[in-house]
Structure 1
Amino acid sequence: MVPLDGPDDGTGPDDGTGSAGRAPQGGTRPAASSAPPAGAAAPPGRTGSPGTAGPSGPSGPGHAGPATAEPSASGRGTTAPSRPAPGPTTSGTASPAPAALTWGTAERAGTDRRWCEKVTVPFHNSGGTPVRSGTVTFGTHVIGALGVDWATVESTAALPVPIGPGARTDHTWTVCVDAWRVPLGMHVETRDVSVRWE
């Protein structure tokens, strides 16, 4: 028996002429969808459907915005500023004691002139600051041949400064009076020493 040709409904076997893929008569072939099947992963580097922009914002793939630390209730993501170490305190520091100058007995030595002699005076600063200025006043007595004290003549010289805290020093001066005050047979003796200092 020979089968009769019936209408091609697109469901018959492929006869090699492509009849199985043909659309029914009077219709159009549906367009092939380019969207992947549901549940299939999108190709790398592409998001969404063609012709649309991918997700935006920090959570979108490929986003490379600047890193920032977000504050949180627990303090994570933030760095507390460091506090400088407290410096040494100066409260209670006593100021140094003022200068306190003392001097000893003058030592005398004769010279080749009867109206002059060498006088050495020792000094000691027992204070906490240096002696910066001052003067020494000498009282020179004119002594006669019989030991009579005829007159006392004063002279002034500069103090050897500075004299540091706790320092001990001495200094020698040549103390003289007017030559006419000391006639032949008389001599001088510097007995008195007074000091003014700052």
Structure 2
Amino acid sequence: MAASAAAVCLASALTACGGAGDGGFTAVGAAGGPARTPAARPTGSVTLVPLDGAKRTRGRPTTTAASGPAGPSGTAGSASGPAASSRSAAPSAPHRNGTPPPASGPAVPNSPQPGASSASPAPAALTWSTPTREATDQRWCEKATVTFVNSGGTAVRSGTVTLGTHIIDLLGIDWSTIKSTEPLPTPIAPHSRTSRTWTVCVDDWRVPLGMHIETRVAAVDWS
């Protein structure tokens, strides 16, 4: 720019010095030379230097396209932000009575309670042993002990045991049997055992000298 200004001033001086009579003129170009062709446009990039000294970029300035509508502060918004995701989720429609719909998801079956069993307990199963006999000071009386075992799943609540006392002579002949009924030692819990001892006596005249008695289990009734 400084060189251009100097050239203008020099041309003005030459014009002032050569002027006479009809007016001055300025010789431009070589005398008798070929006609000048118009200047061609530049094919490369152009560097613009402003007078205020501000920094400019070379070539066309680049612009950044906003990816969404400007917000309240003038900045460009983003279509993929939280607002877009909240607009894409449609609220569930309430029921006609105004209550919200139930939460969706796979149905969970009711799990069984710990320790609960759907099967019924097994009934009571009672067995008993052969009486253990013990003599007394009278030959027409003796002690008989019976053991009862409940191997079932339900307790024995009630019942009776029928004892048969056999009268036997010296030769082992069974002359008669005297029965007596006693209550069971209830309750008898499942998978448990219990014992009971009874003193069994018959009429003394039924057991003469030299004879004895033997007590055995005749029957058991239980429930």
TM range (shorter): 0.5 to 0.7
Q: Over alpha carbons, which structure has the higher Rg?
A: 2
Q: Is 2:91 aligned against 1:74?
A: yes
Report the TM-score, using the length of structure 2 for normalisation: 0.49
C-alpha distance in structure 2 between counterparts of 1:149 and 1:127, whole Å: 36
Higher relative contact order (Cα pairs below 8 Å, separated by 6+ residues) = 1
Q: CA RMSD in A?
A: 3.1
Separation in 1 of the partners of 2:169 and 2:93?
A: 102
In 2: Cα distance, 1:87 partner to 1:95 partner: 20
Q: Which amino acid aligns with 1:101?
A: L
Distance apart, 1:76 and its partner CA? 8.8
Check whether the contact 1:106–1:193 (CA below 8 A) recurs between aligned residues: no
Give distance in 1, aligned partners of 2:218 and 2:111: 47
Once the two structures are superposed, the pairs formed by residues 31-180 of structure 1 within 5 Å of their partners are: 74-75=91-92, 88-89=111-112, 93-180=118-205
Q: Which amino acid in 2 is paired with 1:127? A: G
Deviation digits for residues 84-119 of structure 1 (CA, Å, limit 9, x no counterpart): x87545897100000000111211110111111111
Instruction: Flag structure 1 segments of 5+ consecutive residues without an equivalent.
Output: 1-72
Amino-acid identity (%): 61
Q: CA deviation at 1:142?
A: 0.6
Q: Say how many residue pairs are matched.
A: 127
Distance of 2:222 and 2:208 partners within structure 1: 35
Gaps of 5+ in 2: 1-89
- Answer yes or no: is the 8 Å Cα contact 2:93–2:101 preserved in 1: no
> Which residue type is aligned with residue 183 of structure 1?
P
Matched with 1:190 is 215
After TM superposition, the score normalised by the length of structure 1 is 0.55
